[in-house]
Structure 1
Amino acid sequence: MAYGTGGCVKKRTKKVNKGQTEKKAPGKNSIHHEDLALKTAAQYFGEELMPLLGIKGVAGYIAPTETVMLEARQMYQDFNYVMTDVAWIHLEFESDAVTKEDLERFREYEAAVSRANHVEVITYVICSAKIRHPRSVLRTGINLYRVKTVQLKGKNADRLFRRLKEKAEQGEKLTKADLVPLLLTPLMSGSLRIEERIIKSLRIIQKAGEVLTELELNKMQAVLYTLADKFLTETELGRVKEMIAMTKLGEMLVGDGIRKGIEKGIVETCRELGVSFEDTTEKIKQRFCISETDAREIVKKYWL
């Protein structure tokens, strides 16, 4: 299966049920980590991920996730697959309760995509919240709209780790299909703490050897790291960082941090020396060989 460009990652306002208080680990930002992680998993490991989620059929290739209507309003789905039977499978990742507004949005997506591409569309909502019966039906007038829900909390990480251990002990080589479910372990149920599940999953993936390409290995590590950043405290995340530091992903994270430090240093130094905004922008542009627009964005970020 050939993989192409995946869904557009968007920021959403976190939904909090009435009477509840949203809990966040210390120092966390508002990035929708689960969307980002699961979209990456869907993009690179679709063949293995779909059976795990109970989705039947064979995906031919990834479908566009941006639908432009006549009123020029862009609608972004989380992920779409074009199936070999011509229908499309539409995935939406929800870390909170599925609301009436969510179902109205999903129905609008389906209608627009179906009309624009002349295909049938089936929506699966992948739920990671601890909700026993997520909402899946929308009644409006004489119409009944339905989505299929997949509850990740209904899957057990302990059983997955036990099965992989038994297979390894029997001398069987793990396949990519065996490894992809590890990406969902932080969202599953189980006796192990989320930190332990992530570290254990990273160790298993790291030992996979030639079963995975370098790109697939990096993407798997990135998915787990993103979920770690979502769920873990700073101390717990530090232990994950220690483990991942010597990997290719770790080198990329360090490199990105070094560049950001250099950018900030240049801008702050120029500001303190009285260098103008325009001249500072030109320095950043030349230093990193980037466009003037990108340079301006960097300078704006640190120009206090």
Structure 2
Amino acid sequence: MAYGTGGCVKKRTKKINKTPEGKNPATKNSIHHEDLALKTAAQYFGEELMPLLGIQGVVNYIAPTETVILEARQMYQDFNYVRKDGAWIHLEFESDSITKEDLKRFREYEAATSRIHHVEVITYVICSSKVKHPRTILKEGINVYQVKAVRLKGKDSDQLFKRLKENAEQGLKPSKADLVSLLLTPLMSGRLRIEERIIKSLNILQNSRELITEMELEKMQAVLYTLADKFLNETELNRVKEMIAMTKLGEMLVEDGIKRGIERGLEEGMEKGIEKGIVETCRELGVSFDETIKKIKQRFGISEKEAREIVNKYWL
């Protein structure tokens, strides 16, 4: 996203009224995968994530992210923490360049939050774009406003995988902070393709089940799956789905997918439509051919031979 043009008279264009969060209403309902993944990581792994991002202070608890100002306009921030010294850490996740309008929005968040909650606020912008020198300062009149930018592309995923491999060869288990670091690898720099980073990370997580709770493992897998859906093409994503399908998260996705498959089939108004919907949905989610046969067999209470015939019919 360019900061502006110059040297000529700009052609007047129709102004687009953006939402209070600075989004174009035309894309208001689109899924921002990186934001979603990073917000999940921030919510569940703040204690480990903050040092990895170079953010100072010790988190005490999560702070509200919704601020209502006098004109009754709701201001939604990406994420807030309360430090033990009482100051607030405000996180914003940006996959594009930081623009002047972004800085104005962040300044407004800070001012409203500080006044209403009577706290100091420090804004960190977690950048996953390739911009090497993101804009962090806004000068207007006699005022200077500044945020702290954290460039994920400035971190090397190759070095992280190398260190974890060397530790494993010495019999050392990864720490929880190491596992949280894996969630950021798709957004880092490195020679490995993003697909390879995600698969490596999923493997390491799967082999470290005893170090974290089942819920934490599912959340970590969900973050990586969300980023895979954002960055990978269909062929690459299918390879990731094959791994995910073998996990608890995969089972949950498949069950949800089967429900959607049934709904899809019901639209055709007959039982055969349900069979088709389930088979097509399982295939889209990366469930193997044989596993889909088991799902069909369980769903309809039929023999394996009958289930195989149904899957063969709709496995296009």
- TM-score, length-normalised on structure 2? 0.76
Write the deviation string for residues 187-220 of structure 1: whole angstroms up to 9, x where unpaired. 0000000000000000001100210100000000
Q: Distance in 1 between matches of 2:22 and 2:217?
A: 26
Question: Structure 1's 13 and 255: CA in aligned 2 closer, same or farther, altered over 3 A?
Answer: farther
**Conservation of the 8 A alpha-carbon contact between 1:11 and 1:31:** no
Alignment of 1:250-289 (within 5 A): 250-269=250-269
Alignment of 1:186-265 (within 5 A): 186-265=186-265
**Is structure 2 residue 152 aligned with structure 1 residue 152?**
yes
Alignment of 1:28-43 (within 5 A): 30-43=30-43
Alignment of 1:1-304 (within 5 A): 12-13=23-24, 30-269=30-269
Deviation, structure 1 residue 69: 1.1
Deviation, structure 1 residue 173: 1.7
Deviation, structure 1 residue 166: 0.9
**Conservation of the 8 A alpha-carbon contact between 2:209 and 2:217:** no
Deviation, structure 1 residue 265: 3.1
Q: Distance in 2 between matches of 1:30 and 1:197?
A: 25
Deviation, structure 1 residue 267: 4.6
Identity of aligned residues (%): 76
Write the deviation string for residues 94-116 of structure 1: whole angstroms up to 9, x where unpaired. 00000000000000000111011
- Looking at CA atoms only, which structure, 1 or 2, has the larger radius of gyration? 2
**Conservation of the 8 A alpha-carbon contact between 1:90 and 1:123:** yes
Deviation, structure 1 residue 140: 1.0
For residue 184 of structure 2, give the secondary structure of its aligned residue in structure 1: helix
| Residue identity matched to 2:165 | K
- Segment drifting more, 153-162 vs 259-268: 259-268
Q: Distance in 1 between matches of 2:251 and 2:262?
A: 17
| Residue identity matched to 2:73 | R
Deviation, structure 1 residue 11: 10
Q: Distance in 2 between matches of 1:226 and 1:11?
A: 23
Deviation, structure 1 residue 262: 1.9
Deviation, structure 1 residue 261: 1.9
Higher relative contact order (Cα pairs below 8 Å, separated by 6+ residues): 1
**Conservation of the 8 A alpha-carbon contact between 1:11 and 1:32:** no
Deviation, structure 1 residue 266: 3.2
Q: Distance in 1 between matches of 2:269 and 2:120?
A: 58
**Conservation of the 8 A alpha-carbon contact between 2:22 and 2:102:** no
Deviation, structure 1 residue 138: 0.5
Deviation, structure 1 residue 264: 3.2
Question: Structure 1's 77 and 122: CA in aligned 2 closer, same or farther, altered over 3 A?
Answer: same
Give the paired residue count.
248
RMSD: 1.8
**Conservation of the 8 A alpha-carbon contact between 2:114 and 2:121:** yes
Deviation, structure 1 residue 82: 0.5
Q: Distance in 2 between matches of 1:146 and 1:132?
A: 17
**Conservation of the 8 A alpha-carbon contact between 1:12 and 1:32:** no
For residue 149 of structure 2, give the secondary structure of its aligned residue in structure 1: strand
Partner of 1:283: none
| Residue identity matched to 1:90 | H
| Residue identity matched to 2:138 | L
Deviation, structure 1 residue 12: 4.3
- TM-score, length-normalised on structure 1? 0.79
Question: Structure 1's 53 and 232: CA in aligned 2 closer, same or farther, altered over 3 A?
Answer: same
Q: Distance in 2 between matches of 1:13 and 1:160?
A: 37
| Residue identity matched to 1:110 | E
Q: Distance in 1 between matches of 2:24 and 2:197?
A: 28
Q: Distance in 2 between matches of 1:132 and 1:14?
A: 29
Q: Distance in 1 between matches of 2:266 and 2:190?
A: 48
| Residue identity matched to 1:46 | G
| Residue identity matched to 2:230 | K
Write the deviation string for residues 117-152 of structure 1: whole angstroms up to 9, x where unpaired. 000000000001001100000011110000000000
Q: Distance in 2 between matches of 1:237 and 1:132?
A: 28
Partner of 2:9: none
For residue 135 of structure 1, give the secondary structure of its aligned residue in structure 2: coil
For residue 269 of structure 1, give the secondary structure of its aligned residue in structure 2: coil
For residue 172 of structure 2, give the secondary structure of its aligned residue in structure 1: coil
Deviation, structure 1 residue 177: 1.1
Q: Distance in 2 between matches of 1:14 and 1:239?
A: 34
